[in-house]
Amino acid sequence: MNKKSPKIRKKKKFVFNYTIAEIKKQNLFFAVTYCEKESPETYTENLRWSEIFKPQSCSIEVKNMVVIKNGVQVFKLYEKNSKKLLNILDMYNSTGLIYNEIKPVTAPTEKEIIFCISLYFGIPQSFSRCDILFKTYLKEIAEKRRYFDKINNPKEKEVFQTFFNRRIPKLEISKEFTNHTKKGVYLIDSNLRNLIQEIMKDYENGLLQILQYQKPLTKREIIKKANTKIKERGIDIKIPLRKQSKREIVNSWRKKKEELSAKINDLADKRDKKAPNTE
């Protein structure tokens, strides 16, 4: 009988888990190798997971990362996976957000935001996000509710305030403050969502009501009110309700000219009558 050959046990491969929970649990260190673009020279740093951030300089990039567990190098991540891990750690260390575990937050719709604005300011039906006061009203509401004081992370607070203070797209804000297109947009959208949800809760609890829009007075109505007040004070002046046409201006000028000519003729006649007769 043929004897079965003994099974050779394969050495267990180190399986790296790309979640923050696993990295924190094992308290991993990493040997991070950096290099300058278009340069063969590299340098390596041994860093704890909480010390890893994206390089501030655009000319420096991460070449690879080696996982260190209990002082032993156990796994090497090449460029693609190193960049993936770098994104995860950078996002978590700078904002407290988990890059690959969070669900994308949908920003509140324009209709939801405008409804919440109408609880604080009387706005016309034609009001939209294109209106110059759209972000101004939102910022005033956030300040009234002291929402900015509730944001503990200074970087997150700065990103959200910049969204109101500067009229630039979310992507540009995200790239400027987080060097990433996803992080900043997530921070803005999640805070907008939280702010709108807070306002809606107050509305549902009867703490807020829709404010009616008061249409501003027309120029004609303002002049009518002014004329009424002038008349009440006994002043014999009337502000015209509309601008005179060219024909009306010419006719008015002619009328005044004729009146002036008549006065001059009267004065001349009176002077002639008073003058002594020399004949």
With vertex at residue 199, the alpha carbon angle to CA 197 and CA 203, rounded to the nearest 5 degrees, is 115
What's the pLDDT score for residue 17?
A: 59
What's the pLDDT score for residue 116?
A: 94
What is the token pair recorded at 279? 């004949």
What's the first-to-final CA gap in the chain, in angstroms? 173
Q: In what order do the strands lie in the sheet with 42-48?
A: 42-48, 29-36, 60-69, 72-77
Tell me which H or E stretch contains 72. Answer: strand 72-77
What is the token pair recorded at 205? 């609890």
What's the pLDDT score for residue 138?
A: 94
122, 213 contact by CB (below 8 A): yes
Give the integer Cα–Cα distance in Å for 119 and 196.
11
Q: What is the DSSP string of 118-134?
A: TTTS---TT--TTSTTH
With vertex at residue 79, the alpha carbon angle to CA 77 and CA 85, rounded to the nearest 5 degrees, is 60
Name 75's bridge partners. 67
156, 97 contact by CB (below 8 A): no
Closest CA to 207 of 113, 119, 112: 119
Helices (H), the chain: 20-26, 79-95, 110-117, 134-144, 154-165, 170-178, 181-204, 219-232, 246-274
Cα pseudo-dihedral 43, 48, 49, 55, rounded to 10? -30
What is the token pair recorded at 236? 């014999």
What is the chain's pLDDT, residue by residue, as a tens digit (279 residues)? 455 555 545 555 555 656 777 777 777 888 888 776 666 777 788 888 777 766 655 556 777 888 888 888 888 887 777 777 777 777 776 666 554 444 567 788 999 999 999 999 999 989 998 888 999 999 999 999 999 999 888 888 898 999 999 888 887 888 788 776 667 888 888 899 999 999 999 999 999 999 988 777 778 778 888 888 888 888 877 777 777 788 878 888 888 888 888 888 888 777 777 766 555
Backbone angles phi, psi at 46, to 5 degrees: -95, 115
Closest CA to 215 of 133, 82, 125, 86: 125
61, 55 contact by CB (below 8 A): yes
Closest CA to 45 of 68, 74, 70: 68
What's the pLDDT score for residue 102?
A: 46
